[in-house]
């Protein structure tokens, strides 16, 4: 199973999210975090991630005759490289997007189901904005978002930190309009001058 196929799955993505920040968790702890998925399913997906080297065993201990494994995330294996992204088909993108949306829905539902859920206090946001951007403006905005988010990716859990799921989603919903650019206005003016 390649990296794309491995990571473009809602349950496996949720396991990866849960492990971020240098956490070391057992499969039982992951089951407690991902309560809406059966334990057997979580165990199966943890096994797949471990076999692929996305998760590694941090430590083991004996508990009532069984071996309890604490896993940690291998950050270098928990992503999809640029070559793979460039090789994806439109159907691959469709499937990955569906997996991402499934994760967002499941995680948000799990958050709302907690007794302590308070969207106002927790500064929950799910706004959508439709903006017109040139290619350069889009790249600048993406760079700005990376600069804002990247320094926090290495944060580890602590008593004063809650884990937030941040999911920037960008795609064009409309092609550039024709006949409204500055070039068209200049061409129209020139045509009016030559015809008079």
Give domain status of residue 161, yes or no. no
Q: Residues 46-50: what's their mean pLDDT?
A: 96
Q: How far apart are CA 46 and CA 28, in angstroms?
A: 11
pLDDT band (50, 70, 90) for residue 180? low
Give domain status of residue 165, yes or no. no
Range of the domain at 121: 3-126
Give domain status of residue 9, yes or no. yes
Among 13-22, 140-149, 168-177, 185-194, the range scoring the smallest mean pLDDT is 185-194
Contact present, 54 and 38 (Cβ < 8 Å): no
Q: How far apart are CA 116 and CA 137, in angstroms?
A: 40
pLDDT of residue 90 exceeding 90? yes
Q: How many domains does the chain have?
A: 1
The pLDDT, as a whole number, for residue 196 is: 38
Contact present, 58 and 72 (Cβ < 8 Å): yes
pLDDT band (50, 70, 90) for residue 75? confident
pTM listed for this prediction: 0.79
Residue 181: closest CA among 113, 139, 134: 134
Q: What is the per-residue burial (b if ≥16 Cβ within 10 Å, else e) of 141-155?
A: eeeeeeeeeeeeeee
Q: How far apart are CA 89 and CA 22, in angstroms?
A: 33
The pLDDT, as a whole number, for residue 62 is: 87
pLDDT of residue 43 exceeding 60? yes
């Amino acid at each position: 199973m390649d990296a794309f196929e491995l990571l473009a799955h809602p349950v496996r993505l949720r396991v990866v999210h849960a492990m971020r920040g240098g956490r070391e968790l057992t499969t039982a702890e992951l089951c407690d975090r991902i309560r809406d998925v059966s334990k057997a399913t979580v165990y199966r997906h943890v096994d797949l991630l471990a076999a692929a080297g996305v998760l590694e065993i941090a430590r083991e201990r004996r508990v009532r005759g069984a071996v309890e494994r604490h896993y940690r995330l291998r950050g270098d294996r928990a992503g999809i490289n640029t070559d793979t992204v460039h090789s994806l088909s439109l159907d691959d993108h469709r499937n990955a997007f569906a997996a991402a949306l499934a994760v967002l829905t499941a995680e948000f539902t799990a958050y709302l189901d907690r007794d302590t859920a308070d969207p106002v206090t927790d500064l929950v946001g799910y706004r959508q904005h439709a903006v017109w951007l040139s290619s350069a403006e889009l790249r600048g905005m993406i760079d700005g978002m990376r600069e804002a988010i990247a320094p926090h990716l290495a944060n580890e859990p602590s008593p004063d930190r809650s884990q937030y799921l941040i999911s920037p989603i960008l795609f064009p919903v409309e092609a550039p309009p024709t006949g409204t650019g500055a070039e068209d206005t200049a061409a129209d003016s020139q045509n009016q001058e030559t015809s008079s």
